[in-house]
């Protein structure tokens, strides 16, 4: 197990290239199960979650080859039972349910693991499968779905805290091979859903409306192989924008889609940073005093819950009182206790954090509780006085490709140490 030591006080400058999106790559890789023909996926990030997904595909009988960010999958003959030992490590592994059900009309997957950020049930996924005609059984820690045939239906996937991204992905993948027309109301609008839909369309699926609240799918008898490049990771890009805001004199984020980043760019501008967009690049630089913010997380195109922890770290250094309300995962504030260990003045009031910006924080031993919380602690350490020791960094390796090397390339001083 590794830990990361962040030596604070270094100014960041230069440019950084953003990797492919983890949250796109995982369901796209799962979607290769829908065809017997080879699929080639490029710009696949080198992350532990990706490794787990490729292992699951191999365990299901796929031939998997990986080299330099490109993965080829051939799912000619597949099994329908995903093993617990791998599935338990990653919540996104539940997205193999949809393609297995669509192609083989049955699937058994262990209830997923992943980040500990509150209750994230998969009941909406299962509701969608049932609407397509599948029977669902949950027993002994496993979910089993099966059907003699799948038929198109109208399904509403909006839940208590908004639309479900993985649920939209899962139902869409099952529906592409169902008989007739499926309408998903309350669909997630995230760019990652659009990316999956674009890949499925390349495979021969008939999908309209991806990126809106209503997706219409005309079932087809079979799909074929395809090649696809994964979109840039907007959360990694947003994290580096916050790094540039915290400690940068001018940082350029390269190979991104600025349209996907507006919910992060606009608050940074409102806080007083100079943010410019040019083609596939976004640059952030200081522009006078920082201003406090009031943020509310919302499903896309609102401010993303996956950037909430990072913005909390930034606002801990921002003079004045800021308010951050978590509307997607109300319990997602485990990073607050660790930021307080570094001297941050943050109080939780229900699903909101009240942040009284301090002039400075001090490095301290802290514990990463989940993927985005660990990124927030790294960001806070960039500006804190002294050394911040971050433990359980396997969380950060789930979603950030070489974050320590990339930050060091901008001028940070970060060490990765074996424990």
Element (H or E) spanning 352, and its range? strand 352-357
β pairing state of 142-146 and 135-139: antiparallel
Residues assigned a catalytic role: 115
The residues with which 168 forms a beta bridge, in sequence order, are none
In angstroms, the CA 134 to CA 107 distance is: 10
- How many Å apart are CA 414 and CA 364, to the nearest integer? 14
At residue 379, the 3 state secondary structure works out as helix
Q: Where does residue 77 rank: exposed (0-12), middle (13-18), buried (19+ CB within 10 A)?
A: exposed
- Alpha-helical (H) ranges within 143-261 are 165-175, 191-202, 234-247
Q: How many CA atoms lie within 13 A of 184 on its CB side?
A: 38
Query: In sequence order, what E strands does 172-233 have?
Result: 181-185, 206-208, 214-218, 227-229
Determine how many CB atoms are found less than 10 A away from the CB of residue 1. 8
CA distance 187 to 166: 10
> Across 43-141, where does the E strand assignment appear?
63-67, 70-74, 81-82, 106-110, 135-139
- CA end-to-end distance (rounded Å), the chain: 6
CA–CA separation, 70 vs 88, rounded Å?
Answer: 25
Beta carbons of 47 and 398 less than 8 angstroms apart: yes
Residue 272 gets the label, from left (phi > 0), alpha (psi -120 to 50) or beta, of left
């Amino acid at each position: 197990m590794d830990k990361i030591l962040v030596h604070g006080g270094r100014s960041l400058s230069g440019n950084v290239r953003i990797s492919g999106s983890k949250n796109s790559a995982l369901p796209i890789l799962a979607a290769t199960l829908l065809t017997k023909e080879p699929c080639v996926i490029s710009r696949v990030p080198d992350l532990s979650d990706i490794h787990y997904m490729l292992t699951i595909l191999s365990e299901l009988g796929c031939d998997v080859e990986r080299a330099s960010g490109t993965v080829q999958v051939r799912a000619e003959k597949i099994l329908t039972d995903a093993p617990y030992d791998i599935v338990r490590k990653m919540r996104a592994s539940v997205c193999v349910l949809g393609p297995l059900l669509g192609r083989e009309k049955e699937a058994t997957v262990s209830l997923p693991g992943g980040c500990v950020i509150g209750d994230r049930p998969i009941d909406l996924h299962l509701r969608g499968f049932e609407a397509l005609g599948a029977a669902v059984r949950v027993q002994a820690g496993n979910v089993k779905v099966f059907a003699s045939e799948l038929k198109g239906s109208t399904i509403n996937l909006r839940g208590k805290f908004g639309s479900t991204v993985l649920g939209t992905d899962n139902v869409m993948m099952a529906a592409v091979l169902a008989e007739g027309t499926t309408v998903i109301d309350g669909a997630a609008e995230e760019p990652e859903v659009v990316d999956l839909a674009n890949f499925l369309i390349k495979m021969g699926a008939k999908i309209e409306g991806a990126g809106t609240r209503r997706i219409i799918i005309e079932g087809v008898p079979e799909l074929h192989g395809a090649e696809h490049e994964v979109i840039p990771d907007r959360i990694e890009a947003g994290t580096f924008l916050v790094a540039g805001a915290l400690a940068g004199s001018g940082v350029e984020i390269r190979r991104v889609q600025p349209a996907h980043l507006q919910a992060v760019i606009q608050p940074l501008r409102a806080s007083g940073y100079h943010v410019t967009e040019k083609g596939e690049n976004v640059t952030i630089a200081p522009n006078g005093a920082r201003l406090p913010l009031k943020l509310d997380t919302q499903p896309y195109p609102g401010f993303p819950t996956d950037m909430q922890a990072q913005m909390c770290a930034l606002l801990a250094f921002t003079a004045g009182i800021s308010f951050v309300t978590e509307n997607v995962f109300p319990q997602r504030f485990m990073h607050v206790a660790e930021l307080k260990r570094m001297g941050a003045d943050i109080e939780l009031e229900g699903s909101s954090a009240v942040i009284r910006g301090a002039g400075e924080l001090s490095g301290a031993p802290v514990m990463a509780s989940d993927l985005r919380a660990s990124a927030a602690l790294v960001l806070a350490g960039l500006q804190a006085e002294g050394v911040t020791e971050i433990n359980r960094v396997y969380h950060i390796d789930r979603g950030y490709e070489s974050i320590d090397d990339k930050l060091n390339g901008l001028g940070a001083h970060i060490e990765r140490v074996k424990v």
